[in-house]
């Protein structure tokens, strides 16, 4: 079975002089669309640019795509007088000052969610893995919920919010938690049960379409994919590729277990949420719960266990190098760790922004 990949990243549009988030009035999107087509999109806030790869048959394809997208958007932004940055939140810009994109869909969301939507100035990574069979995708989704905090801890890249050190390695999820239908999903026994849930929400005017299910992992309502949405956008493209490779390998491993009539234990959302909170607060430097042993374990130990768990599928996927890079990420620290290191040295958040901008296109040529 081929586990295709699709990767979406959300970038900050930054003023080179002030280092603040700034509206690009969709100029970057207009220019980028001439070469990237539908791979570039506007977002609710005008200081955001979203990109998405084409369908990638393997991590090698994904590498070419992500490098091309980051290089193209950065070059176009620079030509227009902007910088781009990849971090889950901006270190000091205030959401109240940001312009919103005129669009009936966004207008509807803002009308319903009010300041919850207006303040949602965050930047994420979404990774799709192709699975056409919806029941199979649901089965794997149920099992993958356990690993979401692991992936989240590795991606943490938003320690600052509106000029403050929040004390979290990822404050992005704290901002997004204000939205309805976010976070770790519950377990659905089968796809029919899931569609019944969706139908109920539509009938009762909670949502008008399934895209307004914003969980940390979901079966995509349009594409034949499983979509992992928990991660901050990583600072470097290599980090993005390693996280995407981990996600793909987890899907492949859980599929392999199912074909061998083996199941990974599924855990209650309330338990998984305990690990998600720890990942948000401490990143890789804290402890998470090993539910099987019912003990706390260093997060980096659990990350190594994850690498051991997927080891028998990564060579078939051709992603050994990207998965091995996770060890470097654990050694060198996440984007959040590196942002905090720059700030602790300089006590200057503009220097943190400069670092983010620099790292966003690091080794991209």
Q: Are 354 and 345 in contact (CB under 8 A)?
A: no
Which secondary structure element, helix H or strand E, spans residue 226, and what is its range? Answer: strand 225-232
**Would you state the pLDDT for residue 75?**
97
d(CA 229, CA 88): 12
Residue 27 lies in a domain: yes
Per-residue pLDDT for 190 more than 90?
A: yes
DSSP per-residue letters across 55-95: -BSSHHHHHHHHHHHHHHHHHHHHHTT-EEE--SS-SS--G
pLDDT at res. 43: 87
Give the closest residue to 25 by CA, choosing from 1, 51, 49: 49
Mean pLDDT of 81-87: 98
Residue 29 lies in a domain: yes
- What pTM value is reported for the model? 0.97
* Count of domains forming the chain: 1
> Residues 263-290: pLDDT tens digits?
888 999 999 999 999 999 999 999 999 9
Statement: residue 224 has pLDDT above 90: yes
Let me know if 41 is exposed, middle or buried by CB neighbors in 10 A (0-12, 13-18, 19+): middle
- CB 251 within 8 Å of CB 144: yes
- CATH number, domain of 194, equals 3.30.590.20
State mean pLDDT over 47-64: 97
Q: Is residue 162 part of a domain?
A: yes
Residues in the chain: 365
Decide: 83 and 77 in contact? Cβ < 8 Å: yes
Asked whether residue 245 is assigned to any structural domain, the reply reads yes
- pLDDT of 113 > 90? The answer is no
Dist. CA 314–CA 323, nearest whole Å: 8
Answer yes or no: is 365 within a domain.
no
Q: At residue 107, does pLDDT exceed 90? A: no
Q: For the ranges 73-77, 114-118, 142-146, which has the lowest average pLDDT? A: 114-118
| pLDDT surpasses 90 at 99 | no
pLDDT of residue 120: 85
Q: How do residues 1-47 score in pLDDT, each as one tens digit?
A: 899 999 999 999 999 999 999 999 899 999 999 999 999 998 888 99
- Nearest 10 degrees: Cα torsion 136, 143, 155, 69: 0
Structure-block tokens of residue 217: 């992992």
What is residue 101's predicted lDDT score, i.e. its pLDDT?
84
Q: Check: CB of residue 233 under 8 Å from CB of residue 154.
A: no
Residue from 97, 80, 4 nearest 45 by CA: 97
- Residue 149 maps to a domain: yes
Whether the CB-CB separation of 65 and 212 falls below 8 Å is answered with: no
DSSP 112-165: HHTHHHHT----EEEEEEE---HHHHHHHHHHHGGGHHHHHHHH--B-EETTEE
Share of the chain above pLDDT 90, in %: 87
Range of the domain at 196: 5-360
Domain assignment of residue 13, yes or no: yes
């Amino acid at each position: 079975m081929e586990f295709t990949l699709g990767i979406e990243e959300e970038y900050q549009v930054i003023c080179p002089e002030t280092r603040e988030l700034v509206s690009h009035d969709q100029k970057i999107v207009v220019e980028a669309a001439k070469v990237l087509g539908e791979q570039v999109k506007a977002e609710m806030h005008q200081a955001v640019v979203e990109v998405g790869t084409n369908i990638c048959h393997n991590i090698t394809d994904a590498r070419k795509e992500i490098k091309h997208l980051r290089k193209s958007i950065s070059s176009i932004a620079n030509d227009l007088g902007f910088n781009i940055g990849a971090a889950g939140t901006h270190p000091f810009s205030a959401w109240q000052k940001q312009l919103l994109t005129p669009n009936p869909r966004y207008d509807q969301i803002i009308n319903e969610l009010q300041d919850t939507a207006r303040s949602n100035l965050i930047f994420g990574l979404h990774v799709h893995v192709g699975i056409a069979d919806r029941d199979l995708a649901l089965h794997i989704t149920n099992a993958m919920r356990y690993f979401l905090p692991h992936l989240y801890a590795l991606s943490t890249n938003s320690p600052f919010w509106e000029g403050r050190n929040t004390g979290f390695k990822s404050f992005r999820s704290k901002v997004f938690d204000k939205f309805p239908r976010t976070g770790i999903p519950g377990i659905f026994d089968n796809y029919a049960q899931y569609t019944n849930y969706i139908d109920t929400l539509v009938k009762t005017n909670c949502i008008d379409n399934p895209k307004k299910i914003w969980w940390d992992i979901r079966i995509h309502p349009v594409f034949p994919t499983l979509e992992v949405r928990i991660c901050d956008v990583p600072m470097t493209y290599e980090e993005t590729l390693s996280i995407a490779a981990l996600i793909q390998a987890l899907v492949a491993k859980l599929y392999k277990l199912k074909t061998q009539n083996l199941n990974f234990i599924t855990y209650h959302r309330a338990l998984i949420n305990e690990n998600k909170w720890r990942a948000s607060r401490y990143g890789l430097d804290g402890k998470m719960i090993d539910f099987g042993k019912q003990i706390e374990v260093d997060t980096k130990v659990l990350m190594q266990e994850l690498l051991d768990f997927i080891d028998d599928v990564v060579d078939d996927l051709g992603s050994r190098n990207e998965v091995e890079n996770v060890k470097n990420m654990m050694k060198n620290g996440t984007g959040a760790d590196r942002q905090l290191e720059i700030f602790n040295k300089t006590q200057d958040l503009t220097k943190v922004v400069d670092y983010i901008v620099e790292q966003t296109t690091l080794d991209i040529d």
